[in-house]
Amino acid sequence: MSDALRLSGIEKGYNLGQPNEIRVLNGVDLAVPAGQVTALVAPSGAGKSTLLHIAGLLDTPDAGRVTMAGDDLTGQSDRARTRARRERVGFVYQFHHLLPEFTAAENIVLPQLANGVAPAAARARAEDLLGRVGLDHRLDHRPAEMSGGEQQRTAFCRALANGPSLLLADEPTGNLDPGTSDTVFDALMALVRETGMAALIATHNLDLAARMDRTVRLEQGKLV
């Protein structure tokens, strides 16, 4: 069976005047099979966000290939990559990036509408997802009316709205207190287990990493 995500030979540098002045990724190889949760651990500035953005088709590598379930998306058009992102990938940002003028439920409905789901079905799915992370009572609250942990659980539900086969999360509990971080993480793990998704989760928290299936470390632009 092909892996939900496969990265091969990924290189990325940022050019600030001189070519490749900052080399961030230096030949990253990684396979994430369906149903497996992988922790991505590295110090600040090592390139975790850069790697996740490339894996999530939000950015393009200088070299290397990004393959999802056997489909090589590397050289495809922006349109094809946007579509693949919408249909296959759920992304949780370090800060939730919820739309402030919309309620929790609406934030989960909107990506489904963009994917062609009918409004009633989208609303039902939003309520189901929010219910599963204990937010039945927050459906119609806006982000500013929710706690940090509630916002982050809502962001997880939004990432899962279109039933992605791959979940990418960039330090999803980084700005939460330890107790809240555990609650958010438990909700995430339960949803991942239930759906059989592949997940790649960047974290600074080694205790959380130890509860995932596997840990990879980014060192000198490579995974070890």
Residue placing its CB nearer to ligand ATP in the complex, 49 or 103: 49
Least gap, CB of 96 to ligand ATP (angstroms): 15
> How far apart (Å, rounded) are the C-alpha atoms in residues 20 and 16?
8
Strands 222-223 and 214-219: antiparallel
206 lines the binding site for ligand ATP (CB under 6 A): no
CB 159 within 8 Å of CB 174: no
Least gap, CB of 182 to ligand ATP (angstroms): 20
50 lines the binding site for ligand ATP (CB under 6 A): yes
Residue placing its CB nearer to ligand ATP in the complex, 45 or 134: 45
Residue placing its CB nearer to Mg ion in the complex, 49 or 173: 49
> How far apart (Å, rounded) are the C-alpha atoms in residues 133 and 159?
13
> How far apart (Å, rounded) are the C-alpha atoms in residues 119 and 110?
9
Of these, 3, 7, 10, 47, which contacts ligand ATP (CB under 6 A)? Answer: 47
> Which residues in 127-146 contact ligand ATP (CB under 6 A)?
none
> Which residues in 34-93 contact Mg ion (CB under 5 A)?
48-49
Residue placing its CB nearer to ligand ATP in the complex, 20 or 82: 20
Residue 203 CB partners (closer than 8 Å, separation 6+): 39, 40, 41, 171, 172, 173, 174, 209
Q: In what order do the strands lie in the sheet with 71-72?
A: 18-32, 5-16, 63-68, 71-72
Residues interacting with Mg ion, by CB under 5 A?
A: 48-49
